[in-house]
Amino acid sequence: MRVAIGADHAGYFMKAYLVPYLQKRGHEVIDLGVHTDAVSADYPDAAKAVGQAILDGRAERGILICGSGIGACIAANKMKGIYASIAHDTYSAAQGVEHDNMNVLCLGGRIVGTTTAETLVDAFLGARFAGEERFVRRFDKVRDIEQGDNA
């Protein structure tokens, strides 16, 4: 799978760890930075880069890492067509894709360790949208909200 990955300075070390991990698992990784933790970087920039890679078709899924995962998640979800969530357990990492069509996994580089991150990423990338009528109906309602139909 083609996976875009990006981080701010607080997520740099986790991103640096996950890039070769994903490559060893056979994924094509698009590393959108940052490439150091020595310079402060803003999580919205990482979110925009990863989201745009998905929207442009350069990546099928994305992984965003900031200190807590929260800021990156909020920023990513402002982009139409991006469905991001934090996951700290494998059930949520997979179920977010299977039921909710999540396309970006957000991780807290200061929250989860590398072993946990590996299992979360594997669950996320191994999951597929179930496509059952109830999940499609719910996802369509989410897209209606996204398009401004808040009624």
User: Is 99 among the residues known to form the active site?
Assistant: yes
pLDDT digits (tens, 9 = 90+) for 44-53: 999 999 999 9
Cβ atoms < 10 Å from Cβ of 75: 23
Three-class DSSP category at 31: strand
pLDDT digits (tens, 9 = 90+) for 51-104: 999 999 999 999 999 999 999 999 999 999 999 999 999 999 999 999 999 999
Query: Helix, strand, coil: what percent of the chain each, to 5?
Result: 50, 15, 35
Q: Residue 16 domain-assigned?
A: yes
Q: Residue 78 domain-assigned?
A: yes
76, containing H or E segment: helix 70-76
- Which range marks the domain in which residue 52 is found? 2-146
Catalytic one of 9, 27, 66, 73: 66
Q: Residue 31 domain-assigned?
A: yes
- Tell me which amino acid residue 117 is: A
Give CA–CA dist 109/10, Å, rounded.
6
**pTM of this prediction?**
0.96
Q: Residue 134 domain-assigned?
A: yes
Q: Residue 151 domain-assigned?
A: no
pLDDT digits (tens, 9 = 90+) for 34-44: 999 999 999 99
Domain count, the chain: 1
pLDDT digits (tens, 9 = 90+) for 109-125: 999 999 999 999 999 99
CATH assignment of the domain containing 84 = 3.40.1400.10
